Amino acid sequence: MTAAHDSNPPGSLGETAGSGRARPSQPSSGAQRKEAVSRREAAVVSRETAVNGRERAQDAADARQSAAQHRNADMREANSELVMATLKARALTDAAGLAHRQQEEFLAMLAHELRNPLAPIRSAAALLARIDHADPALPLIREVIQRQVEHMARLLDDLLDASRVTTGKVKLQRRPIAVREFVEQGAETCLTLTQSQHQQLTLDLPATPLYVDGDPVRLAQVIGNLLHNAAKYTPDGGAIALSVRQQADTVVIRVRDNGAGIAPDMLAHVFDLFTQEDRSLGHSQGGMGIGLTVVRTMVEQHGGTVHAHSAGRGEGSEFVVTLPRIEYVAPVAPVPAASSTAPTQKRILLVDDNVDAGTLLAMLLRLEGHEVTIALDGPAALEAFAQQQPQVVLCDIGLPEMNGYEVAERMRTCCQGSMPAMIALTGYDGPDHHARSRAAGFDYHLGKPVDFDALLQLIGTLGPRGSDGANGANPS
């Protein structure tokens, strides 16, 4: 039997059916192939776009993180600089405060050390006026001494005021006050100077009283400083005029002179601290360029203004002070009843470690009939206090071993009866010293060199304290 051969050619239907697997279909046309290629290309582009997007997002995130890091670094640096600047500013403030305190302490000590030798000089001048003298030159010598002592004391006051004024530490003791009162007080401080220079000083005051709300001491200082300034720049034989007028709700005070005048470029600076202009008069009265600064500050603290005017060199000058006026009717002071029992002579304990100052002041007081005991330090003062039972105690503050504040406190503690009138008589004359004196038990605080006539007048008004601690006179 002959084998049967497959008669179906390759690729025939029979092979397809008998093979058991299907062959992939082929694109039937070129359009389909292009479409497939486009889809593949689109997929690739999409993937690349997605990758690029992710990379851009990552770059943006990295950039934001880097910027944030830079900002944080800048903020840390700025904070560090701010902390350093704050610490530096605090250190500078502390250093400035320390320097200011040291300056104030130095000025107070300087004033104390300079006032102490002035006190016996002033007492010596007062003694020369009270003792018999045959030589006709002695009155002139006494006047020169007294005038120069007053000038030196004024310079010291200006020096201390420069520190107080610039730091705003001047505290005003305000009350209704007649303008005439502080004007006449201020003019009195200048009389010795104007008379020695043969200058004519005239006051033109209204008949009707005018009042301001002010500190009489500081307002008298304003007038005194303006008159001293006028006298300093007015030649011998010149004229100085002070007038007071009411203008609406203000009081206008004018001080005019026919002296050296003020250059136009200096008018805006005459009230500046330490400013002086050489107006070709040799500065015979000296000065430190402080007085007019004090004037401006005191006037402004009273709510007023002050201005300088001058037509120029050699044309004189005018200073105009304007203060708010108040309506005030002064009460009628009762007439004190005459006392025939109060003795004029008093037992006085004088405590001062400066032998010259204590000796000369005791001589003056004894010439007025007072009984005076001198003590040179605190322990001796307490011993004399217990033995003598004084009616008045004049006590220096800067004492060895025990200062004057401690002496006053010890006297107050050990006193069995009425306390005597206590007067601090010292070269320490700042506001803090006044407050500390009051706290220690002093009734009065007088700065050296003391005006002896004013001291005598004060002693004449004093009586012992009552059981409540109040003195017979009102403490200043």
The verdict on residue 371 lying in a domain is yes
The verdict on residue 439 lying in a domain is yes
Identify which of 173, 127, 60, 167 has the alpha carbon closest to the alpha carbon of residue 452: 127
Q: How confident is the model at residue 282 (pLDDT cuts 50, 70, 90)?
A: very low
Higher pLDDT, 327 or 24: 327
Whether 364 has a pLDDT exceeding 80, the answer reads yes
The verdict on residue 431 lying in a domain is yes
Contact yes or no for 316/279 (Cβ under 8 A):
no
Q: How many domains does the chain have?
A: 2
Instruction: Give tens-digit pLDDT for 302-314.
Output: 999 999 999 888 8
The verdict on residue 182 lying in a domain is yes
Contact yes or no for 358/376 (Cβ under 8 A):
yes
Q: Looking at the structure, tell me whether residues 320 and 180 fall in a common domain.
A: yes
Instruction: Give tens-digit pLDDT for 450-472.
Output: 888 889 889 988 865 544 444 54
Contact yes or no for 246/309 (Cβ under 8 A):
no
Q: Looking at the structure, tell me whether residues 304 and 403 fall in a common domain.
A: no
The verdict on residue 78 lying in a domain is no
Q: What CATH number is associated with residue 428?
A: 3.40.50.2300
Residue 22 structure tokens:
């299907």
Residue 79 structure tokens:
């904070």
Q: Looking at the structure, tell me whether residues 316 and 195 fall in a common domain.
A: yes
Q: Which domain holds residue 245?
A: 172-278+286-324
Q: Looking at the structure, tell me whether residues 375 and 453 fall in a common domain.
A: yes
Q: Looking at the structure, tell me whether residues 310 and 405 fall in a common domain.
A: no
Q: Looking at the structure, tell me whether residues 320 and 389 fall in a common domain.
A: no
Whether 76 has a pLDDT exceeding 50, the answer reads yes
Instruction: Give tens-digit pLDDT for 89-112.
Output: 888 888 877 776 776 677 667 766
Contact yes or no for 299/258 (Cβ under 8 A):
no
Q: Looking at the structure, tell me whether residues 177 and 308 fall in a common domain.
A: yes
pTM for the complete prediction?
0.54
Average pLDDT over residues 248-255: 96
The verdict on residue 234 lying in a domain is yes
Q: What CATH number is associated with residue 215?
A: 3.30.565.10
Q: Looking at the structure, tell me whether residues 211 and 293 fall in a common domain.
A: yes
Where in 347-400 does DSSP place strands (E)? 347-351, 371-375, 392-395
The verdict on residue 359 lying in a domain is yes
Q: Looking at the structure, tell me whether residues 303 and 359 fall in a common domain.
A: no
Q: Looking at the structure, tell me whether residues 176 and 320 fall in a common domain.
A: yes
What contacts 180, CB < 8 A, 6 or more positions away? 205, 209, 210, 244
Average pLDDT over residues 402-415: 90
| DSSP, res 267 | G
Q: Looking at the structure, tell me whether residues 383 and 450 fall in a common domain.
A: yes
Q: How confident is the model at residue 390 (pLDDT cuts 50, 70, 90)?
A: very high
Q: What is the DSSP string of 325-361?
A: -B---PPPPPPPPP-SSS-S--EEEEE-S-HHHHHHH
Q: Looking at the structure, tell me whether residues 254 and 357 fall in a common domain.
A: no
The verdict on residue 385 lying in a domain is yes
